[in-house]
Chains A and B, each alone.
Chain A
């Protein structure tokens, strides 16, 4: 089966500019995740969708970050305006089952490396 697709793979912007990342999960996967991975750290969850509803966005900086998952499939993560500290790899992941006990493993995309100058 095709894996999780993300684009672009790399993005360089200046601070205060806007940027958007796109993710297409594995077909049939109900749960979609966006993570931020800063160099030297493990991934940190930003937002989790179950179908097209938000399950957890407690660590999403909502003053500048937004995400949507239209029709429960593709998702877009946006940063507006970007700050220097947003430089990181943004990973999208998906997992199969919906429900209150989603313990399936997550499948990760290759990530988008964002550099904010």
Chain B
């Protein structure tokens, strides 16, 4: 069975500082990894994905994520946080077999203070 762990319920960072939201995963076979963001009363929005290739993936709104196979991690990063980045972030994983479905983590609330 595949699973995702987001060890932090909340991450606090000051505007302009770098941010990291952590994610580790467990999956049989090769992982496909995703980050989504959820704003209040809205559905999830896709940020970025890792399928294969370069371990550093760049996505929307200046976010990037680093795939580390040995540590089974896929941490989300941004060099300089904005107040508008405050939202709920979800990491998700699926394997590379057939119609494998996405498994989401429980989410991490990011709060960026002015």
Contact = CB atoms under 8 A, between A and B. Distances in A.
Interface of A: 4, 33, 40-45, 48, 50, 55-56, 91, 93, 100-103, 105-111
Contacts of A93: 43-44
Interface of B: 4, 32, 34, 36, 41-46, 49, 51, 90, 92, 94, 96, 98-99, 101-107
Contacts of A103: 32, 49, 51, 94
A101 B90 contact: no
A33 B49 CA distance: 18
Contacts of B98: 100-101
Contact of B99 (A42, A100, A106): A100
A104 B21 CA distance: 23
A42 B41 contact: no
17 contacts: A42-B90, A42-B92, A44-B104, A48-B101, A55-B99, A91-B43, A91-B44, A101-B98, A103-B51, A105-B34, A105-B49, A106-B102, A108-B43, A108-B45, A110-B41, A110-B42, A111-B43
Contacts of B44: 43, 91, 93, 106, 108
A45 B94 CA distance: 12
Contacts of B51: 103
